[in-house]
């Protein structure tokens, strides 16, 4: 059990979608994480740190920069935890011969199971990526079950890097087309799944990402109130405007309280 309290400071983020095609977002997030973690003792990245992940031999300048920063944070004494998301569920799952050390060894991060229950300043808190709660999206849940299986992953990782990368590109295109035909509520969490998951795990608070709908929700269930924090996705457009603002931020938890940090803080305060 991970127990955070006393003088600890924990940072939570998710859905950064790092990739070479978006250097602006990558640069902003890495700078923001470096700054925000200056007094942190724990950093939790709750899925979709990368826009896709086809194996621990994945190349790219953005991959190298992210691994370097996490390695530096862990080497400096910060406990770094990474949870797999729906786009990077192969993180540290397979190490093709040419990859060398796996993701966790290269970063010094600990991989978190989804879900993971922690004690956060005396509050039993459940950490998830969030996609497991979107139970109305049946086709996605079928693929999620398939792709998390050891057999599927072992078979996939036997292909060449070029083949795996092309498959990821095709899969992303299919996903975008599929979203266009789905009802919006299918891509959000289902309240019954939220309450049942929290009850089964004995948690009074939940932190997750995935839906790109940052908020602080209060649910009333048979076991009492559940507080659910939904973390923001990250995006730094080249030309910011009212129509295209920066998105992103951290949830910072310390003995002083629970504090949204970054662009999403205004929307949480307004809510």
pLDDT at 124: 96
The C-alpha atoms of residue 33 and residue 99 are separated, in whole angstroms, by: 26
Q: What is the CATH number of the domain that holds 40?
A: 3.60.21.10
Q: Of the candidates 208, 249, 259, which has an alpha carbon nearest to the alpha carbon of residue 28?
A: 249
Find all residues with CB under 8 Å of 180, minimum gap 6, and list them. none
Distances (CA, A) of 232 to 7, 17, 75: 26, 12, 27
Mean pLDDT for 73-89 is 97
Segment 200-236, tens digit of pLDDT: 999 999 999 999 999 999 998 767 899 999 999 999 9
Segment 244-267, tens digit of pLDDT: 788 999 999 999 999 999 999 987
Q: Quickly state the pLDDT bin for 59 (edges 50, 70, 90).
A: very high
Mean pLDDT for 125-137 is 96
Look at 21-30, 96-105, 156-165 and tell me which has the smallest mean pLDDT. Answer: 96-105
Q: Quickly state the pLDDT bin for 271 (edges 50, 70, 90).
A: low
How many structural domains compose the chain? 1
pLDDT at 175: 75
8 A C-beta contact, residue 151 and residue 203: no
Mean pLDDT for 30-56 is 97
Distances (CA, A) of 111 to 120, 122, 160: 18, 23, 25
pLDDT at 100: 63
Distances (CA, A) of 140 to 150, 151, 175, 187: 18, 18, 9, 9
pTM of this structure: 0.94
Residue 99 pLDDT greater than 60, yes or no: no
Q: Quickly state the pLDDT bin for 183 (edges 50, 70, 90).
A: low
The C-alpha atoms of residue 228 and residue 194 are separated, in whole angstroms, by: 9
8 A C-beta contact, residue 216 and residue 229: yes
* Angle, helices 150-157/161-180, rounded to nearest 10 degrees: 130
pLDDT at 45: 98
Residue 97 pLDDT greater than 80, yes or no: no
Structural domain range at position 262: 2-270
């Amino acid at each position: 059990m991970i127990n955070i309290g006393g003088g600890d400071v924990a940072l939570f983020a998710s859905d950064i979608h790092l990739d070479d095609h978006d250097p602006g977002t990558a640069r902003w997030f890495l700078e923001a994480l470096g700054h925000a973690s200056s007094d942190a003792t724990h950093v939790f990245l709750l899925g979709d740190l990368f826009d896709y992940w086809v194996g621990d031999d994945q190349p790219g300048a953005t991959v190298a920069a992210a691994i370097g920063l996490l390695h530096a944070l862990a080497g400096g004494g910060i406990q770094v935890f990474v949870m797999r998301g729906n786009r990077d569920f192969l993180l540290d799952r397979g190490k093709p011969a040419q990859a060398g050390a796996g993701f966790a060894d290269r970063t010094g991060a600990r991989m978190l199971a989804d879900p993971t229950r922690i004690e956060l300043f005396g509050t039993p808190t459940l950490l998830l990526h969030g996609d497991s709660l979107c139970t109305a999206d049946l086709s996605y849940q079928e693929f999620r079950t398939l792709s998390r299986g050891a057999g599927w992953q072992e078979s996939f990782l036997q292909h060449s890097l070029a083949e795996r990368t092309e498959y990821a590109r095709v899969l992303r295109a299919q996903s975008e087309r599929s979203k266009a035909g789905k009802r919006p509520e299918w891509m959000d969490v289902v309240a019954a799944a939220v309450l049942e998951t929290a009850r089964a795990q004995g948690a009074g608070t939940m932190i997750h990402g995935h839906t790109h709908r940052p908020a602080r929700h209060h649910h009333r269930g048979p076991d009492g109130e559940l507080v659910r924090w939904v973390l923001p996705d990250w995006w730094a457009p080249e030309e910011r405007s009212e129509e295209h603002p920066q998105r992103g931020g951290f949830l910072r938890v310390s003995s002083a309280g629970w504090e949204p940090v970054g662009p999403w803080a205004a929307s949480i305060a307004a809510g």
